[in-house]
Amino acid sequence: MSRLDINRSGEMEVFARVVELGGFSAAARRIGMTPSAVSKLVARLEGRLGARLVHRSTRQLRLTPEGEAFYGRCRAVLAAIAEAEREVAAGAVPRGRVRVNSNVPFGLHWLTGLVPDFLTLYPEITLDIVATDMVIDLIDERADVAIRVGPMRASPLIARKLGESRMAVVASPDYLARHGAPATLEELERHNRIAFNFTRLVAGWPFRDASGATVTVPPVGNVLVGDGESARRLALAGAGLARLSHFHIGPDLAAGRLVEVLADLNPGDTETIHAVFIGQGAQLPARVRVFLDYLAAHARVG
């Protein structure tokens, strides 16, 4: 059967409804088909693709890894089709909701400052912004764009680099006046180090020792936080040392509110900031594309 004989977008629509509604019967009721027809369509799709997309049981339907990847692509394709139809009907004016999941420091110190001018340029777009330092699943959270800081895990997502920023260990002048500034890694062990309460790809604080080798010191202390902005505010309040990006604390360093310590042992590592999204080119809705272009032009970090 040629590709012209297959309604691939229709198959994607049915498969997406099965995933989103949790089963063949619910999808069938929504679409207006019989459950057996929906099941056969998914089975035919699996046969054509040569891969199992779902594990079936009497109680639940669970996606295989291939099914998860295909569902993500289906969402992008179906969104692009819907966007193309809206653009033609509305004269190609970008419109609709853009769901943005942002790292907290970037969201507070960069993104919110860009929102007013962006919305002036694109008044038909609504931005739906959630700020969290936890790594989220774009498909599960129904996010169009995620701002992620740090190393990227291997994934089928598209990443657009916004910049990179050097890391530094910092403390407030008040904290250093009370506890002294550590000059060696041995002295660092006696200081309170503000840590994160979620798993990060890079564990510990890296330093360069006297031999030039990189060593990692665990951030051990009596306070843990769930986002970088909380760590910054605790450091400003004198609760301990924090290791943060210059893009986040640059103004505090310039104003003397925070002071870098152990600068001579800083290995010079950087954190990279990416905008992550599903789909590219023609598969990317205009509302998402213009937002990404605006970020790339106005939120260059580094």
Q: Specify the CATH number for the domain of residue 75.
A: 1.10.10.10
Is 165 a member of any domain? yes
Cα(205)–Cα(28) distance, integer angstroms = 53
Last residue of a domain, one of 88, 116, 140: 88
Last residue of a domain, one of 88, 118, 136: 88
Q: Which residues lie closer than 8 Å to 160 by C-beta, 6 or more apart?
A: 274, 275, 276, 277, 292, 295, 296
Domain shared by 179 and 79, yes or no? no
Phi, psi for residue 135 in degrees, rounded to 5: -75, 125
Q: What is the pLDDT along the chain (302 residues), one digit of tens a residue?
A: 444 445 888 899 999 999 988 889 888 998 889 989 999 999 999 998 999 999 887 677 889 999 999 999 998 888 888 877 776 655 567 889 999 999 888 898 889 999 999 999 999 999 999 988 776 666 666 789 999 887 777 667 788 899 899 999 999 999 999 999 999 999 999 999 999 887 766 678 999 988 888 999 999 999 999 888 999 999 999 999 999 999 899 999 999 999 999 999 999 989 889 998 877 655 678 899 999 999 988 887 76
Domain assignment of residue 57, given as a range: 8-88
Domain shared by 234 and 145, yes or no? yes
Which neighbouring-strand residues pair with 61?
56
pLDDT at 136: 66
Give the count of domains, the chain.
Answer: 2
pLDDT at 201: 60
Domain shared by 186 and 249, yes or no? yes
pLDDT at 6: 59
H-state helical runs in 50-184: 65-90, 104-106, 112-121, 138-141, 173-179
Domain shared by 37 and 175, yes or no? no
Cα(46)–Cα(236) distance, integer angstroms = 56
Q: Which residues lie closer than 8 Å to 264 by C-beta, 6 or more apart?
A: none
Cα(231)–Cα(242) distance, integer angstroms = 6
Helix (H, G, I), strand (E, B) or coil at 177: helix
Domain shared by 100 and 221, yes or no? yes
pLDDT at 64: 92
pLDDT at 116: 95
250 within 8 A of 181, measured Cβ to Cβ: no
pLDDT at 5: 45
Is 3 a member of any domain? no
The kind and range of the H/E element at 235 are helix 228-236
Cα(190)–Cα(254) distance, integer angstroms = 27
pLDDT at 159: 85
Domain shared by 62 and 172, yes or no? no
Is 2 a member of any domain? no
